[in-house]
Structure formats: C-alpha cells, structure tokens
A and B are shown apart, each in its own frame.
Chain A
Amino acid sequence: MTAPLIEAQSLRMEYRVGRGQVLRALDGVSLAVRPGEVLGLVGESGCGKSTLGRCLLRLARPTAGRVVFDGTDITALSERTLRPLRQGMQMVFQDSYASLNPRRRIGDLIAEPLRVHRDGQGRRRTAADIAARLAELMALVGLPQAALARYPHEFSGGQRQRINIARALALSPRLVVADEPVSALDVSIQAQIVNLFMDLRDRLGLTYVFVAHDLAVVRQISTRVAVMYLGAIVELGDADTVLHRPAHPYTAALIAAVPEPVVLPDGDRAPPLRGDVPSPIAPPPGCRFHTRCPIAQDRCRTDPPALRDPGDGRQVACHFPLAGG
C-alpha cells in the first residue's frame, strides 16, 4: 500500500476554558489518508471535526500526538520551516463570504498566494506567469475570466465557493481540507459544488479531507468515512461499509436521523436518539456514547471501548458492535 499523504497519530487538543476547566476537543485521534483518497469526516456539532482539520494542516498546534505530512513530522515545525510545505496543503471553509476580503478584486484575491510563494524552481512568479495561472484556475472551477475583475459581493454563494476553491488550488496543493464547504449552499447549488470537488480530484489527483455534517453529501464524495463523537473517532472505514452497514450504534443513529426526501408510512420511522451531546468539558466515563446509546450495558458505563477491527477491515469503538457490521 502507498504511504499516507497525511497522518494523525494519537492527536490530543485541549483548550483551557476558564475556572481551571479543560475542554478536550480531540482525545487521541489517529488516522491516515492515502494519496487520492477522500476521507469524509462526520459527526455532530462540536465533536472536533474542524479542530482535527486545523491540526492536520498545522493551522493549530495539537497539545499532544503527531501530524505527519508526506513523510515529514510537522507537529512541531516553526512557521518558517512549515512555509514551503504549506503550498502542498490548503483549506476551504464553509463561509464563502467571510474568507474573501470584500474590498479586493477576485483576481487579486486568487493571485495573493502566487505572489507570496515562489514557484517550483524557487523563483518569484512574473506578472505573466500569474495571469496565465489565473486564467487556468478560472477555467478549472467553471467561472468566466471576467470574474477576475469583479468584487466578492457581486457573486452568489455558489460562485464565491468556486472562487475560494480556485484560491485554494492556486499553488497546486496535493491535500485539501474542506470544512463544510457546501453546508451553506442551497441543494441545487450544493450539487454543482460537490460535482466540482469530484471533478477536481479526478483531474488533479487531489486528496481530500472533507468535513460535513450531511451524511448523504459525505457518502457521495468520500472513499472512506470517519465518524466522530465527543473528540474521538468511533467508526472508520470504507464509505459504503460504514454508511450501509454501520457497526457503531452512533453511526446507525446518525443515519437513521437523516430526513430523506421520500414519504414513508408513519410507523416506518425509527425513534429518534434521546438527549443532546454531553459537554466535552465533562465527557461521560466509559464509552463516551453510553448516555444516549440504545443498547448500552453496564460495562459501557465504566470501560472505554478501544477502536478495533471487527473482522471486515473497518475500525469500531464499541463493546457490542451491531450485527450489520
């Protein structure tokens, strides 16, 4: 098997949140993404998806654990040493407007990374190089060349997301971490952008970590899926295996809760999961899901389950994985 492009090893991320309390946003997360894979990251609000994404790109520095990018341990690198590596890893965010300076033209916004970073031969890019690359990028993301001379507010949400993608791709990264990149878009536009992400992966051989709370979107784009709950991965495996035959009760509950655009007889609806996600400042002991798990046993309240392979290549953190798995 090929070596991973990005790897997290036992990542921990703690935030001090006053009164001596510690919020553990990531509690021992390990995963590896190989070149060309799309790892979908799902889970409810606050489970640590964005924190993990930021740690993988070293936009945040984990409290403990290691991040390895393309064979280099980047956990403790200074910003200066990181700089050349940064070109290879980029991020796309949910809020397409907040990430674009409203007073600058699209052409300037996308050219910025091209001006800051040197090219493959260590040379500064000329104005002609930059213009050529801008033209290429606009074609790549499906925007007219005329868009380069306009301002962010002149575009719709979907078009702004194309602009953000163009900017992220300017330096030809190998890894893109996309944090809820289609969540703010209407479905008809969301489909366009999901298709764009898939085309770009095929054409440019990109590797994605794709964060989304929408399981259907994640299934559409991902080759593998990691399900997170309260700062930990509870299930990790092939997208089809995990989403068609979930082994963790939380994965199963998440799937059951998705409202599908199909009208079912009233009785065919699974009862919803009880309660809310507990506070990450004081996560439950034992299995962190036991307060909401419909099949929790005594053992689950004290004994934390480790991630292990139930025999089909995926990983599940549950003492009693579902038979579907």
Chain B
Amino acid sequence: MDADATPLLAVRDLTIALPVGGRMVNIIDSVSFTLGAREILGIVGESGSGKSMTALALMGLIDAPGARITGSARFKGRELVGLPQRAFRTLRGREIAMIFQDPMTAFTPVYTVGWQIDEQIRAHGRVTRKDARARTIRLLGDMGVPDPARVADRYPHQLSGGLRQRAMIAMALSCNPSLLIADEPTTALDVTVQAQILDLLRRLRREYGSSVLLITHDMGVVAETCDRTMVLYSGTIAERGPTGAVFARPGHPYTAALLDSIPPLHGARPARLPSIPGSPPAPADRPAGCPFTPRCAYAHDACAVRPPLLPRGVQDIACVLPAEGRDLPARCVTV
C-alpha cells in the first residue's frame, strides 16, 4: 500500500497540552504519522501513553478545559486541528466514525439498537424509515449478527457484549465512513469473541473500503490485525513501521522489552518473565531526553538528549542506539 501517494490522514507534529498543576504539560508530544486508504494502522502502548487522547483529538472530542492542540492533522486534505465544532459534527459519523471499548457509551439505553442505527442513517441522508431499517438489518447481518431483524428490536442491555460490539460497529459503518477509529474495541471481550471482532475489522477494508486506526494495549491484537504499527511511550512515538518488521526486529528497546515481557503461549516456559522495571512516568514527571531512560537497560549519557524519530531500514526509531551502530538483536519466537 502506498501511503505516501495521497494519505487519507496525515498527522504532523500533533501536540496536545493540558494544564496540570498550574503549568501546561504535553500529553502528546509531536506525534506524526500517515494512514493510507484501506490501511489498518495500530497504535499500541501502555495505559497513559496517550492513545485515546490522539484519537479524541482527531475526532474533535477533547473537551478538557484549557487543552491546547497544535500541529496538523489533514484528513482528505482538510485540516482538523482548529476545525470548528460545527464542521466536526458533520464530519463525525459521516466521514470519520469511532468505536469504543464500552458499546454502552455509543447507545442510549432507552431506544432499541435498530432504532438508533436507523436514526444515524437518516441523520446523514434522505432515507425513509423503512429503507433505513432495511439497511440496518443488512449492516447487522454483515457484522455477523445472527437473526439481525430480531436483534434490531432489542435494547442495548439485552444483548451480549459481543453482539453489542457488533451493533456499535454496524452503527459506525452506517454512513460508510472512510476512517474508522477503534479505541480498544475488544479489550472488554472474551478471547473467542475478540477473535470474531478482529476478523470483522480485517474484512472491513475489503468490503467497506474503510481505513482503520486501531488503538490497543495488546501487542497480540496488533500483530494479528494491523498493516503498520506505531508504538507510543509517554506521549511520543518510540517506533513505527510495517507490523511484520516491528515484531520480527523491534528497533526500540521499549518495543523489545514490551514484547519480551509477554509470557509465551508456546515453547519453553521461562523461569522468570523478563520485566521492565518501574512504571511509565505521569505526564508532568517525564524526564528530559529520552522518556524511556529511567527504565531502559541500554540507557547511557547520549540518552539525555531526546532522540528524534529516524528511519532505520523500513522502520522509524526514536532511540540513539541505531545511530551508534548498536542495533538490537532480532527476536526469536516459537509458534
């Protein structure tokens, strides 16, 4: 996929600052990436790394008082940073849709799921109630909902977690958005249902031509779903690249350590899991220089200056090691 040609979304130096204890703190610091048509880009990182804030900024949904968003995010050539709320409202739902971890936040409890999807369809085009319902049922069916006509007549709380998630995706897709932002869409689901939803997300680009920004803390979910992967740490990009390359040969010590700390499902059991000492700092306490320094096994003097994100092979890596000729070893894994 040639993401450079005309990316659907081009984010440059996106920075989100919030007032914390009387001063402005960068929650997201100079994040840049592009997303091509029909591409699935994974944003992965631990809690607090800034995944959700990035997504909310793209949707115009950051409502924290005093928030300051700078940089640029061009969606189909149109600048999103600074876009008035009125313009965002027409964009949301029609061009950009979002799904969340908890589908209950997308639905109101007092109307049936079908009614709410019908309304969404009718809000964005002249459609009769009957045609809207036909489309709702088709969408639910496409999302793998068994007996979609009956499910449409149910209230959100009457559905299982998996069905609710499918219904939310159906609602998000109801206006054929070209960009779907999915923030931890499977985190609350059981693995068997998660596998179904990931299968569904992979199919979306084929059948709906949508691009997906998939946000997750789960490296396994990224590996199974995303074309390209971007690893966030403390509000900055640690590493990004094609998913296969990032997982075979992580270039940033954080990516490598994160992958190592996942217990293997196959092969020998390690006597101890390699773990990363400490925990990520709160945004106001991030160190100058490389934010991973306090936890990094390779930290040295050069890390006191924040390393820029530089290309190394097919990846981009924000670490001083590659320039010092000290690339990390490739990963060995047993499947």
B192 touches A187 (CB 8 A): no
A259 touches B275 (CB 8 A): no
Cβ of B264 under 8 Å from chain A: yes
User: Nearest Cβ distance between residue A150 and chain B, in whole angstroms?
Assistant: 16
* Most A Cβ at <10 Å: residue of B162, B221, B276: B276
Kindly list chain B residues whose C-beta atoms are within 8 Å of the C-beta of A70: none
Interface string of B240-284 (1 = CB under 8 A from A): 000110011000000001110111111001101111110110000
Kindly list chain B residues whose C-beta atoms are within 8 Å of the C-beta of A261: 219-220, 222-223, 247, 259, 262, 333
By beta carbon, the residue of chain B nearest A268 is B335
Q: Knowing A156-B279, A257-B194 touch, does A276 contact B261 (C-beta < 8 A)?
A: no
Interface string of A253-273 (1 = CB under 8 A from B): 111111111111000010011
Cβ of A130 under 8 Å from chain B: no
Kindly list chain B residues whose C-beta atoms are within 8 Å of the C-beta of A243: 265
A158 interface neighbour in B219, B258, B264, B279, Cβ under 8 Å: B279
Kindly list chain A residues whose C-beta atoms are within 8 Å of the C-beta of B224: 259-260, 264, 269
B265 touches A272 (CB 8 A): no
Kindly list chain B residues whose C-beta atoms are within 8 Å of the C-beta of A215: 191, 265
B275 touches A195 (CB 8 A): yes
Question: How far apart sit A187 and B193, CA to CA, in the bound complex (Å)?
Answer: 21
Count residues of chain A with CB under 8 A from any CB of chain B: 43
User: Nearest Cβ distance between residue A244 and chain B, in whole angstroms?
Assistant: 8
B274 touches A191 (CB 8 A): yes
Kindly list chain B residues whose C-beta atoms are within 8 Å of the C-beta of A191: 261-263, 273-276
Cβ of B24 under 8 Å from chain A: no
Question: How far apart sit A190 and B275, CA to CA, in the bound complex (Å)?
Answer: 8
Kindly list chain A residues whose C-beta atoms are within 8 Å of the C-beta of B217: 186-187
Cβ of B104 under 8 Å from chain A: no
Cβ of A277 under 8 Å from chain B: yes
Cβ of A192 under 8 Å from chain B: yes
Question: How far apart sit A256 and B262, CA to CA, in the bound complex (Å)?
Answer: 17
User: Nearest Cβ distance between residue A209 and chain B, in whole angstroms?
Assistant: 18
Kindly list chain A residues whose C-beta atoms are within 8 Å of the C-beta of B264: 216
* Most B Cβ at <10 Å: residue of A159, A190, A272: A272
Cβ of B108 under 8 Å from chain A: no
Cβ of B128 under 8 Å from chain A: no
Cβ of A99 under 8 Å from chain B: no
A272 touches B199 (CB 8 A): yes
Kindly list chain B residues whose C-beta atoms are within 8 Å of the C-beta of A195: 272-273, 275
Interface residues of A in 190-231 (CB under 8 A from B): 190-192, 194-195, 198, 213, 215-217, 219-220
Interface residues of B in 195-231 (CB under 8 A from A): 195-196, 198-199, 217-225
* Most A Cβ at <10 Å: residue of B192, B194, B258, B335: B192
B46 touches A188 (CB 8 A): yes
A44 touches B190 (CB 8 A): yes
Cβ of A18 under 8 Å from chain B: no
Cβ of A275 under 8 Å from chain B: yes
Question: How far apart sit A191 and B279, CA to CA, in the bound complex (Å)?
Answer: 12
Question: How far apart sit A269 and B220, CA to CA, in the bound complex (Å)?
Answer: 13
Kindly list chain B residues whose C-beta atoms are within 8 Å of the C-beta of A217: 263
Question: How far apart sit A263 and B40, CA to CA, in the bound complex (Å)?
Answer: 14
A216 touches B265 (CB 8 A): yes
Cβ of A189 under 8 Å from chain B: yes
By beta carbon, the residue of chain B nearest A273 is B192
Cβ of B105 under 8 Å from chain A: no
User: Nearest Cβ distance between residue B179 and chain A, in whole angstroms?
Assistant: 23
A194 touches B195 (CB 8 A): no
B265 interface neighbour in A192, A255, A264, Cβ under 8 Å: A255
Question: How far apart sit A267 and B193, CA to CA, in the bound complex (Å)?
Answer: 19
Question: How far apart sit A215 and B192, CA to CA, in the bound complex (Å)?
Answer: 12
Cβ of B47 under 8 Å from chain A: yes
B192 touches A190 (CB 8 A): no
Kindly list chain B residues whose C-beta atoms are within 8 Å of the C-beta of A189: 275, 279
Kindly list chain A residues whose C-beta atoms are within 8 Å of the C-beta of B258: 187-188
Question: How far apart sit A318 and B277, CA to CA, in the bound complex (Å)?
Answer: 44
By beta carbon, the residue of chain B nearest A256 is B195
Question: How far apart sit A243 and B265, CA to CA, in the bound complex (Å)?
Answer: 8
By beta carbon, the residue of chain A nearest B47 is A186
By beta carbon, the residue of chain B nearest A270 is B195
A198 touches B272 (CB 8 A): yes
* Most A Cβ at <10 Å: residue of B218, B263, B264, B269: B263
B190 touches A262 (CB 8 A): no
Question: How far apart sit A269 and B259, CA to CA, in the bound complex (Å)?
Answer: 20
Cβ of B146 under 8 Å from chain A: yes
By beta carbon, the residue of chain A nearest B248 is A263
Cβ of B163 under 8 Å from chain A: yes
Question: Besides A186-B47, A188-B275, A244-B266, 11 other CB < 8 A contacts?
Answer: A44-B190, A158-B279, A186-B46, A191-B274, A195-B273, A198-B272, A257-B191, A263-B247, A272-B196, A274-B196, A276-B193
Closest 5 CB pairs between A and B? A259-B220, A191-B275, A272-B195, A191-B261, A188-B276
Interface residues of A (CB under 8 A from B): 44-45, 156-159, 186-192, 194-195, 198, 213, 215-217, 219-220, 243-244, 253-264, 269, 272-277
Between-chain CB contacts (< 8 Å), 17 pairs: A44-B191, A157-B279, A159-B279, A189-B279, A194-B273, A215-B265, A219-B265, A220-B273, A259-B223, A260-B220, A261-B247, A262-B333, A263-B243, A264-B335, A272-B199, A276-B163, A276-B193
Interface residues of B (CB under 8 A from A): 46-47, 146, 160-163, 190-196, 198-199, 217-225, 243-244, 247-248, 257-259, 261-266, 269-270, 272-277, 279-280, 333, 335
